[in-house]
Structure 1
């Protein structure tokens, strides 16, 4: 080959190499720009659900349905392969918040960083309130709507138990696809653990004979006050009443016995009408808890405060605090204070 032809061939080969390098550089730039550029068309609260058996092409189709137009299928496949996500997408719901990039989304799916939803069981809720809140919770799957309380407890594996007080108040995280039964199982187990821990630390002089009695009294304490510092005082007061055989005479138990017919006002006739839950007409504890007690109420009952008070009544100023008394005469004076404060509060509200 002549020197001239060799020179032309070398130049041609160099041009091919430069062109290939330029094309490769452009392709790489385009690929990395796709991988790390925010996806368009997303709004706060958007999400995508990866279901069992979904392949990457299926997930891409769901992204298109959600409004994502960025990237060709080839680019998504290359990125998924590079990140090790091509065949390891975890089932679940994933956030598509504005600013999310393809790389971030695929990494989240590879790790299983699914959206965590929250459901809070409120201290003092009864089982009717808990079940109503569960029925309204989304996107929780609903499996208990047709079950009565007995069937519910059977479905949870605790046939024959009364459901009241059995589910610990706290905030539970769940993912799309979880059911109300899943959440209740966790809340039941959490309550059982908290009760066992409280029972283990109980005052050795307690009048309570079983953990279930502790749960019952804790539910009453929970309903009587929302003031944390008062819970041990009220628990101690009830312990003293139980010790001397004095009736508990606590309004929340009467209200619970009224059930759905309670209209927000407790009347004298309610206090004298006997029900299994009326602690004005019956001695000792009611047959079941009356609400869901939290950990603080359980701990207060496990270690009640010392004292001599046998009576208490609300201050009546809207603070939720109570006045305590050792004697009936002192209590009656406190009741008069409560009525004065209550009436003044009502006038101020007008």
Structure 2
């Protein structure tokens, strides 16, 4: 028998290994067939690689789950796959699919919270947000605050208006916690930079004033002056007499038409009948209103009236204010 046959066998084996390696390399960079244009998979924390491979196949990646799993395992990156929501589009390769999950390149949804919204509007937005798991729909506002670890605090005003991105399938409590934490950070930072001598005793009072400023004007240039007017009134013990607080106190009973009867009907939020700040914020203030509340623009004005173009006219005396009301609200010259 020839002594050369072991070398021939070894050569054949080597060729087979090279061929197999070439086949694997070819497969890793070959687009996988999909049952639909976009395949979606959500991976929960702790999901094992074998189950992840099966989830992709169940969702519509038309390759053997065992093959995908062996690739995840053989790559050495199987345990680096991150939880999240992912999409695979036409043309995706096994190599690209794994890289996407290792990077955490997931599909994120978003919900936008608008400056001046109430907590009820915030809850409505969360309920309508795509792929956000609803858990608070049956809770009262008090229960929601307890659930996010802020029990004993009113819900109104304590969430920062911003655009929040989230992974598909996460709980609405996740967004609530992030928005509340963001407001706490912003308020703490604003309070640390407050002007000296403000008639505000606590950050909570600053938040209340900021919410009123937010509802009183959308004009960036006017926020500091609006805050200055209210600060002047607070210093003097003069009632704030601001319509948005009255409207908030009316709740769902408000039909869009504020009347004299409304202004004369006492509620905890009627700043025509009660002195000082209302008991809670009346909306979610943005960053500009927070800053205006703690660093108001110095002014002697005690009154302001909407000009009709988004801005306001400020007056130091009641006579001047009445003239501005006649001109801009009643059309009298």
CA offset digits 1:179-209 (Å, max 9, x no partner)? 2222222222221221121111111121112
2 CA distance for matches of 1:46 and 1:324?
Answer: 58
Structure 2 length-normalised TM: 0.88
Contact 2:39 2:60 survives alignment (8 Å): no
Residues 248-267 of structure 1: matches in 2 within 5 Å?
Answer: 248-267=240-259
Range with bigger deviation, 321-330 or 242-251: 321-330
Deviation (angstroms), 1:124: 1.0
Q: Distance in 2 between matches of 1:314 and 1:29?
A: 75
Q: Does 1:215 align with 2:207?
A: yes
Q: Does 1:67 align with 2:60?
A: yes
The correspondence of residues 126-141 of structure 1 with structure 2, limited to 5 A, is 126-141=118-133
- Give the one of 31, 35, 49 matched to 2:42: 49
Among residues 20, 25, 44, which one is paired with 1:32 in the alignment? 25
Instruction: From the superposition, tell whether residues 74 and 245 of structure 1 become closer, same or farther in structure 2 (CA, over 3 Å).
Output: closer
Instruction: Report how far residue 45 of structure 1 moved.
Output: 6.0
In the alignment, the residues of structure 2 paired with residue 326 and residue 238 of structure 1 have an alpha-carbon distance, to the nearest angstrom, of: 12
Which of the numbers 120, 124, 146 marks the counterpart of 1:154? 146
Cα distance change on mapping 1:240 and 1:30 into 2, 3 Å: same
Q: Does 1:80 align with 2:72?
A: yes
The equivalent residue for 2:87 is 95
- Following superposition, the deviation at residue 148 of structure 1 comes to 0.9
2:236 maps to 1:244: yes
Gaps of 5+ in 2: none
Distance, in Å, in 2 between the alignment partners of 1:332 and 1:45 is 63
CA contact (8 A) 1:141 1:178 kept: yes
Q: Does the 8 A contact of 1:85 with 1:109 survive in 2?
A: no
- CA distance in structure 2 between the aligned counterparts of 1:244 and 1:122, rounded to whole angstroms: 33
Give the alignment's TM-score, normalised by structure 1. 0.84
Quick check: 1:338 aligned with 2:328? yes
The equivalent residue for 1:114 is 106
Residue 301 of structure 1 is matched in structure 2 by: 293
The alignment partner of 2:137 has SS state of: coil
Rounded to whole Å, the distance in 1 between the matches of 2:160 and 2:199 is 23
Tell whether the 8 Å contact from 2:303 to 2:316 is kept in structure 1 after alignment: yes
- Cα 1:340–1:28 change in 2 (3 A) is farther
2:38, 2:90 within 8 Å by CA — same for their partners in 1?
A: no
Instruction: Tell me the distance in 2 between the aligned counterparts of 1:257 and 1:96.
Output: 50
Shift of 1:306: 1.0
| Cα separation, 2, equivalents of 1:324 and 1:284 | 21
Q: 2:117 aligns with which of 113, 125, 128?
A: 125
Residue 327 in structure 1 maps to residue 317 in structure 2: yes
Q: After superposing the two structures, state which structure 1 stretch, 76-85 or 128-137, moved more.
A: 76-85
Q: Secondary structure at the match of 2:329?
A: helix
The 1:271–1:43 alpha-carbon spacing in structure 2 relative to 1, beyond 3 Å, is farther
> How many angstroms does 1:164 deviate by?
0.9
Q: How many residues of Structure 1 are paired with residues of Structure 2 in the alignment? A: 332
Structure 1, residues 220-241: CA drift from partner, whole Å, max 9, x if none?
0011112222111111111111
Larger radius of gyration: 1
1:204 counterpart residue number: 196
2:194–2:295 contact (8 Å) kept in structure 1? yes
CA distance in 2, matches of 1:222, 1:133: 19
Alignment RMSD, CA only?
2.8
Paired residue for 1:169?
Answer: 161
